[in-house]
Amino acid sequence: MAVKDDVRCQIVDAAKKRFSHFGYAKTTMAEVATDCAMSPGNLYRFFPGKLDIAEAIATEDYQHHLDQLARLVSVSEKPARERLRDLFFQELRRTYNKLESDPRAYEIALIISRERPEYANWMLANERKILTRLIEDGQRRGEFAPGNADYTAEMLQSATMKFRYPQLWSKLSLPKLERELEGVLALVVDGLCTRLPCPDAA
């Protein structure tokens, strides 16, 4: 099995080179196979199809991103409120910069989100787990109101949809997106209703 993983790795590496050089569409399976010194047919013993290779590449990168988010949340000296802000800003900036600076990544993101909508759901679910942990922590500290943390996380994600795949929908510049995210988070955290000053824990 370990050897099989090595080959998968080799394929992913070869594809990564090709994709970043010529793009996903202009890379053929035959080329990737040749780079790996194997036949095209053999690729299919390691990946169900071309898109799955692209997914593997994307996921490798995404894992780093997820780790980073998890790390932000676990800086437990900071108030939950600030960590929440860090989380969403990190998410926005990394996605924006990635898609902005790398047209190849943009191409692949576009294709995956069209052909594999469940992939986006999977990412959302991963991030929700982290978000839920943060909310639970905030509740434990008395910063956030008690309630179903997972449900709250879902609603938070729903309210910040616009900032998740910035350039796939909105065409806004990063500064404008940041300004809006700031505002939305303030709204969501403090609420619209009149409130007496927060009995800040900590």
Interaction site with DNA (CB under 7 A):
25-30, 37-42, 44-45, 49-51
Give 8-65 as a DSSP string. Answer: HHHHHHHHHHHHHHH-STT--HHHHHHHTTS-HHHHTTT-SSHHHHHHHHHHHHHHHH
Applying CB under 8 A, which part among 19-27, 40-48, 122-130, 159-167 lies near a second copy?
A: 159-167
**Angle (nearest 5°) at CA 192 between 174 and 194:** 140
Applying CB under 8 A, which part among 11-19, 54-62, 91-99, 160-168 lies near a second copy?
A: 160-168
Residue 96 interacting with a second copy (CB under 8 A): no
Q: Is 135 exposed, middle or buried (0-12, 13-18, 19+ CB in 10 A)?
A: buried
Residue (16 or 85) nearer to a second copy, CB: 85
**Interface of this chain with a second copy, residues 169 to 198, rule: CB under 8 A:** 169, 171, 180, 183-184, 186-196, 198
Q: Shortest approach of DNA to residue 197 CB, angstroms?
A: 58
- Choose from a second copy, DNA, none: what does 28 bind? Cβ within 5-8 Å by kind: DNA
Q: CA distances (Å), 164 to each of 30, 78, 161, in order?
A: 35, 24, 5
Residues 202, 141: contact at Cβ < 8 Å? Answer: yes
Q: Residue 176: phi, psi to the nearest 5?
A: -65, -40
Quick one: which of 3, 77, 199, 202 contacts a second copy (CB under 8 A)?
Answer: 199
- Choose from a second copy, DNA, none: what does 143 bind? Cβ within 5-8 Å by kind: a second copy
Q: Shortest approach of DNA to residue 90 CB, angstroms?
A: 34
Q: Shortest approach of DNA to residue 40 CB, angstroms?
A: 4
Distance CA 77, CA 178 (A): 24
Distance CA 53, CA 47 (A): 7
Total of chain residues touching a second copy, rule CB under 8 A: 38
The residue ranges that bind a second copy (CB under 8 A) are: 81, 84, 117, 135, 138, 142-145, 151-152, 154-156, 158-162, 169, 171, 180, 183-184, 186-196, 198-199, 201
